[in-house]
């Protein structure tokens, strides 16, 4: 087989080299296309464009595969913890016991947030969305924690500082928004247990940690830890390509994740299920979603990448059932979700268009069962995606083929025209 493709343009033939990935996928290298032909490609949404080589996450949407550093996400969800998975993504391999202990110590040492940051939180209007606050506060971290001289130490400290403090900041924003006393992290608790305790502990009602709830949060965060070059990850890489500090790049990722078509989808699912529970006529709402002349859409179905069942959705669905049974919760939204899923999986329209339930469909139910407020759902997604963003930023910083991201465009505006003085317009 040729290791290039032929492009014929204006009677000339150009050879564009092929690039093979470790899982057999093949790409056309067009890095010299404009230089040699004067042409550029047009690919709205970048659905057919690879922006980089990456050794972090492998996704096969046709076969429903998701692996972090080669390890199937199903194995990590069953046997690993979020802290261990974060180490894997950032460092490229599972930690030894010594490395994991050191990582835990660093996370604990950097878990506190500068007391002066409370003033910033209290200055936001009470109606502010937690994602907007989180994006602003992550960017502000650079002012509170100056750059270190040693580059390797700087990266290691900044990484653990972000992983630990973002969790603390998220819980703090929730407590302050409710006018409650801020709960500080505890050195005797694991990463996820610490977050739950900071969210729900109270001087008048101490929070009792449930191992199944802690496990559910671990699974949720693991499933969201990375997902190749999605919208927010691309934002982190694009902003990071300007060689900004890690805090600024992560802040951009948080802002991108906020959108309802990306990280905000799990919140949108709960709002949709609530509406369906109130109205009760699921068949009519499904019919609306299938009507191309109706703007109504079902949230939590289909995926830009997956053309079969989202592997994360299977895990999250099982976790939802386990958690609700353990906590003896009867959630009417889960009944609606089950009925809606049953309708969609039998409907020819959904099957033909590959509109299977995705991870957002059940993750909202799990977070709701844990007690997370709906407006904090996307914040939890951001905490989960943080190690992936860090790994992607770090990989791009070390990439010898690094370039400042600067996409081209096909201009479609007016041709050259003269300026008209205001009195003649």
Check residue 413 and report its DSSP letter: S
* Residue ranges in 241-281 assigned as alpha helix (H): 246-257, 265-279
Which of 60, 303, 398, 418 is the catalytic position?
303
Residue-by-residue DSSP string for 46-113: GTT------SSEEEETTTTEEEETTEEHHHHHHH--HHHHHHHHHHSSPPPHHHHHHHHHHHHHT---
Q: What is the CA radius of gyration of the chain?
A: 24
Of the residues 283, 360, 398, 399, which is catalytic?
Answer: 360
Structure-block tokens of residue 401: 């083929």
Annotated active-site residue 180? The verdict is no
Contact 78, 255 (CB under 8 A): no
Residue matched to tokens 């990306």: 262
Contact between 239 and 248 under an 8 Å Cβ cutoff? The reply is yes
Distance from C-alpha of 358 to C-alpha of 382, rounded to nearest angstrom: 18
- Residue 303 designated active-site: yes
Cβ partners under 8 Å of residue 202, min gap 6: 180, 181, 183
Residue whose C-alpha is closest to residue 225's, from 57, 37, 30, 365:
57
Kind of pairing, strands 12-20 and 4-9? Answer: antiparallel
- DSSP code per residue over 290-341: H-TT-----TTB--SS-SS--HHHHHHHHHHHHHHHHTT---HHHHHHHHHH
| 94 burial level (CB within 10 Å; 0-12, 13-18, 19+) | middle
User: In this structure, are residues 404 and 239 in contact, taking their beta carbons and an 8 Å threshold?
Assistant: no
Active site residues: 303, 360
């Amino acid at each position: 087989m040729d290791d290039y493709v032929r492009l014929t343009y204006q009677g000339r033939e150009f050879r564009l080299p092929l690039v093979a990935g470790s899982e057999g996928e093949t790409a056309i290298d067009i890095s010299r296309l404009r230089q040699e032909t004067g042409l550029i490609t047009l690919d709205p949404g970048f659905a057919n464009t690879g922006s980089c080589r990456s050794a972090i996450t492998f996704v096969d949407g046709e076969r429903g595969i998701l692996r972090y550093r080669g390890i199937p996400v199903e194995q990590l969800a069953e046997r690993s913890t979020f802290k261990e998975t974060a180490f894997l993504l950032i460092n490229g391999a599972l930690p030894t016991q010594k490395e994991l202990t050191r990582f835990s110590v660093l996370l604990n040492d950097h878990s506190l947030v500068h007391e002066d940051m409370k003033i910033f939180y209290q200055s936001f209007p009470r109606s502010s969305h937690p994602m907007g606050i989180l994006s602003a506060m992550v960017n502000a971290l650079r002012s509170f924690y100056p750059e270190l001289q040693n580059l390797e130490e700087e990266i290691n400290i900044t990484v653990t500082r972000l992983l630990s403090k973002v969790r603390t900041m998220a819980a703090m924003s929730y407590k302050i928004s409710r006018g409650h006393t801020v709960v500080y992290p505890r050195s005797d608790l694991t990463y996820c247990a610490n977050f739950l305790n900071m969210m729900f502990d109270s001087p008048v009602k101490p929070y009792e940690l449930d191992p199944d709830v802690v496990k559910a949060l671990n699974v949720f965060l693991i499933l969201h830890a990375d997902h190749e070059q999605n919208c927010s990850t691309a934002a982190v890489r694009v902003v990071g390509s300007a060689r900004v500090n890690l805090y600024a790049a992560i802040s951009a990722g948080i802002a991108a994740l906020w959108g309802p078509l990306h990280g905000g989808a799990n919140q949108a699912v709960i709002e949709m299920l609530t509406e369906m529970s109130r109205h009760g006529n699921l068949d009519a709402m499904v019919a609306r979603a299938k009507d191309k002349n109706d703007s109504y859409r079902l949230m939590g179905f289909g995926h830009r990448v997956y053309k079969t069942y989202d592997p994360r959705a299977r895990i999250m669905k099982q976790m939802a059932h386990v958690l609700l049974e353990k906590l003896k919760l009867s959630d009417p939204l889960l009944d609606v979700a089950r009925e809606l899923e049953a309708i969609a999986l039998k409907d020819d329209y959904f099957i033909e268009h590959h509109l299977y339930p995705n991870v957002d469909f059940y993750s909202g139910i799990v977070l709701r069962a844990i007690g997370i407020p709906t407006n904090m759902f996307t914040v939890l997604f951001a905490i989960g995606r943080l190690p992936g963003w860090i790994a992607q930023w770090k990989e791009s910083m070390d990439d010898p083929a690094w370039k400042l991201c600067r996409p081209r465009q096909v201009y479609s505006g007016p041709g050259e025209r003269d300026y008209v003085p205001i009195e003649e317009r």
